[in-house]
Amino acid sequence: MSVPSAVPYNETEIYRIRHSLAHIMAQAVTELFEGHAKVAIGPPIEDGFYYDFELPRPLSPEDFEGLEKRMRQIVNGKFPFVRREVSADEARAIFADQPYKLELIDGLEKGGTDEYGNAVAEKPVISIYTQDSFTDLCRGPHVEHTGQINAQAFKLMSVAGAYWRGDSERTMLQRVYATAWKAPKDLEQYLWRLEEAKKRDHRKLGRDLGLFYFSDATGPGLPLFAPKGEMLRHLMESYVRDTQTRYGYQHVWTGNLVKEDLYKKSGHYDNYKDSMFPPMVDEDVAFRLKPMNCPSHMTLYNEMGIRSYKELPLRYAEFATLYRYEKTGELHGLTRVRALTQDDCHIFCRPDQIEAEFSLCLHLIREVLARYKFTDYRVRLSLRGDEGKFVADDEKWTAATAALRQALDKNGVEYYAEEGEAAFYGPKADFMAQDALGREWQLSTIQVDFIQPSRLGCEYIGEDGQPHTPVLLHRAVTGTTERFLGVLIEHYAGNFPVWLAPVQVMLIPVADRHNDYARSVAEQLKAKGLRVEVDEGNARMQAKIRDAQVQKIPYMLVVGDKDQAAGAVSVRLRSGEDLKAKSIEEFLALAKTAIDSGD
RNA sequence: GCCACCUUAGCUCAAUGGCAGAGCAACCGCUUCGUAAGUGGUAGGUUUCGAGUUCAACUCUCGAAGGUGGCUCCA
């Protein structure tokens, strides 16, 4: 979990530099369009800043060179940043031809929102900053003068579309992203880091390692897993299955198609329709590919007969392939696909069992993430927002949220809350991990649902002899096999721990005459459960080592005359380390230790 | 879905309106080698797809599909 730094970002020097450069970029863009640019907002972000504009024509990367040159001129002009506090009316006069600024001023005057539209407690002071000939509505802070910025330590990166106020109903603006640092060497280092991150991008490694492919022939967001990729899926799913069985979960299977009517009853139809594949209609009955398991699991619960409070909790887990109609622009490698396999579970329990069940989930998740050597994640408490597609039932939301908070607190989980991130049926505790390029992905999740069980008529008979509605906990450990694998590939940079590596051992005969011996060693290792291949090609040993190395295979066993005579293998690790000749028993012990430790 | 950009051999990339190329991989030989690429040859293409402009299009224009970076949405 990430450690908060001692000094808040917005009080650091680099923040002021980036914030100031945002204004300088806005000046350069405004000048380029000779007053026909409408400026929106331009905050510092991680590694840099952006600024949103509405412009007479699309900007392209070809514009960057000219803009950067002008920005350097402004920087070198050593212009002071002059702050002035103004009244709302004065501000309106200054920004009379800037509609986005006028909207911001209205928000500031009313109070309740800051210049980025975020909610704030106090009514803010309206301030403007001027450097050279450019004035912007801004809270600050900035550097004292542009000379405090290094003219060689920033770079415009990309132009992207972004909706005004993040609202897809409103104008799409042009957002220019830039990175900025204190010194040129920091910039170089950042660009180098980006290059390194690209090398571990799971989409590239997926192909290079022969794990999975995408094809126009099957469709976007529908990965095809090659034997090595499927081996990974199998190992990952078996591991979670075995572990959660040990924790007292039971597995069920509920198929891929469901009558649409069930989703009308559960609330998915109203709240999730856009994310479902279109219906398949047979006579007058419509079916849907399953986008979620909850209604199926609740139906199963109902079909299994009347329940006593003594039978709860019931924990129904399923590795289910779900189909979600993600918009094409939202697809992303394995981390955002249209066919996804959730390691899902629905726990039917009594209200007094929520905390214990949450705690059980938490232990399971922590054990599994630790097995994958995953330590860099944080927990988000995802709450309902003021608007959006959340089922209306304030009382139940309040109860579910209170229960979830209490469970988090009692388990000593550190978390940050975020509004508007809840599922439509209840609040969630989400485990967030970053990919190689710093994008954050939701993996594990625990959700508290007071709403769906009553909609689908789930009941149990309580101690009082009366029917009660069970509470439903939804949880996923790795989230989905696809996304988790994508994040894992990047986490390990393709160097899977021995227990997960699709091929654990490559036998490398020094010459053809060693092929028989290599095969016999391979058979002995396979008999012990290792995943082994023999490189019988007629390439030189050096080339075979290189191939195995590039494939990131944990153990290369070189066998030549000496090894054959001694009944041994020469062990080389993918780190490059040469462990020299070892007996087959010694090697097996070595591999077993690595497998057990998770290395 | 929206904005910008991209799409040439399996992969990485050349060719800017005038005969579509290289390296790696593949295949066929030679080589039989001790810890990251031995060597010769062969084959591989409707330049993503569809229209258009032009004597001539990988190259210019329009449209579609897929991808990349964002936005929106989400596991």
Predicted pLDDT at A306: 87
Spatial separation of the C-alpha atoms in residues A26 and A100, rounded to whole Å: 14
Copy the structure tokens of residue A281: 């209609």
A204 is an active site residue: no
Q: What is the DSSP string of A188-203?
A: HHHHHHHHHHHHT-HH
pLDDT band (50, 70, 90) for residue A3: very low
Q: Are A450 and A384 in contact (CB under 8 A)?
A: no
Separation of A572 CA and B36 C1' (Å): 12
Choosing from A346, A380, A468, A514, which is the catalytic residue? A346
Separation of A399 CA and B13 C1' (Å): 59
Separation of A586 CA and B18 C1' (Å): 68
Q: Give the contacts of A139 (CB within 8 A, at least 6 positions apart).
A: A114, A115, A124, A127
A324 is an active site residue: yes
Burial class (CB in 10 A: 0-12, 13-18, 19+), A549: middle
Per residue in A73-129, pLDDT (tens digit) is: 999 999 999 999 999 999 999 999 999 999 999 888 887 655 555 556 566 789 999
3-state DSSP call for residue A320? strand
Per residue in A305-342, pLDDT (tens digit) is: 989 999 999 999 999 999 999 998 899 999 999 999 99
Name the nucleotide nearest A579; use CA and C1'.
B35
Give all domains of chain A, ordered by start, each with its CATH number. Answer: 9-183 (3.30.980.10), 206-256+289-492 (3.30.930.10), 505-597 (3.40.50.800)
Copy the structure tokens of residue A186: 């920091």
Q: What is the mean pLDDT of chain A?
A: 91
- From first CA to last CA, the distance across chain A in angstroms is 21
Name the nucleotide nearest A162; use CA and C1'.
B71
Choosing from A138, A294, A349, A361, which is the catalytic residue? A294
Using the C1' atom of nucleotide B36, identify the protein residue whose alpha carbon is closest.
Answer: A546
Phi, psi of A39 (to 5 degrees): -100, 145
Flag whether pLDDT at A386 surpasses 90. no
Paired with A120 in beta bridges are: none
Spatial separation of the C-alpha atoms in residues A133 and A561, rounded to whole Å: 79
Name the nucleotide nearest A216; use CA and C1'.
B66
A344 is an active site residue: yes
Q: Are A213 and A226 in contact (CB under 8 A)?
A: yes
Tokens 């007629």, residue? A538
Paired with A177 in beta bridges are: A50, A158
A18-27, A236-245, A422-431: range with lowest mean pLDDT: A422-431
Per residue in A182-193, pLDDT (tens digit) is: 999 999 999 888
Using the C1' atom of nucleotide B49, identify the protein residue whose alpha carbon is closest.
Answer: A216
Separation of A489 CA and B9 C1' (Å): 28
- Chain B: nucleotides below 7 Å from protein CB are 1-5, 11-12, 25-26, 30-38, 65-75
Predicted pLDDT at A1: 38
Per residue in A242-287, pLDDT (tens digit) is: 999 999 999 999 999 999 999 999 888 888 888 999 999 988 999 9
Residue type, A271: N
A342 is an active site residue: yes
Burial class (CB in 10 A: 0-12, 13-18, 19+), A365: buried
Separation of A39 CA and B34 C1' (Å): 67
Choosing from A18, A324, A491, A514, which is the catalytic residue? A324
Separation of A226 CA and B10 C1' (Å): 15
Separation of A57 CA and B52 C1' (Å): 25
Residue type, A306: I
Separation of A210 CA and B18 C1' (Å): 41
3-state DSSP call for residue A53? strand
Predicted pLDDT at A5: 52
Name the nucleotide nearest A388; use CA and C1'.
B73
Per residue in A479-527, pLDDT (tens digit) is: 999 999 999 999 999 999 999 999 999 999 999 999 999 999 999 999 9
Q: Are A304 and A316 in contact (CB under 8 A)?
A: no
A475 is an active site residue: no
Separation of A500 CA and B42 C1' (Å): 39
Per residue in A445-454, pLDDT (tens digit) is: 999 999 899 9
pLDDT band (50, 70, 90) for residue A6: low
Burial class (CB in 10 A: 0-12, 13-18, 19+), A173: buried
Paired with A100 in beta bridges are: none
Tokens 């080339």, residue? A543
Name the nucleotide nearest A484; use CA and C1'.
B75
Choosing from A101, A290, A384, A428, which is the catalytic residue? A428
Spatial separation of the C-alpha atoms in residues A454 and A464, rounded to whole Å: 19
Predicted pLDDT at A441: 87
Query: Strands, E, within A184-313: which ranges?
Result: 212-213, 224-225, 250-251, 257-259, 280-282, 285-289
Angle of the A515-527 helix axis to the A584-597 helix axis, nearest 10: 50
pTM over 0.80: yes
Choosing from A47, A63, A136, A344, which is the catalytic residue? A344
Per residue in A146-187, pLDDT (tens digit) is: 999 999 999 999 999 999 998 988 999 999 999 999 999 999
Name the nucleotide nearest A339; use CA and C1'.
B75
Using the C1' atom of nucleotide B1, identify the protein residue whose alpha carbon is closest.
Answer: A327
Predicted pLDDT at A434: 80
Name the nucleotide nearest A422; use CA and C1'.
B74
Choosing from A174, A342, A442, A564, which is the catalytic residue? A342
- State mean pLDDT over A556-568: 96
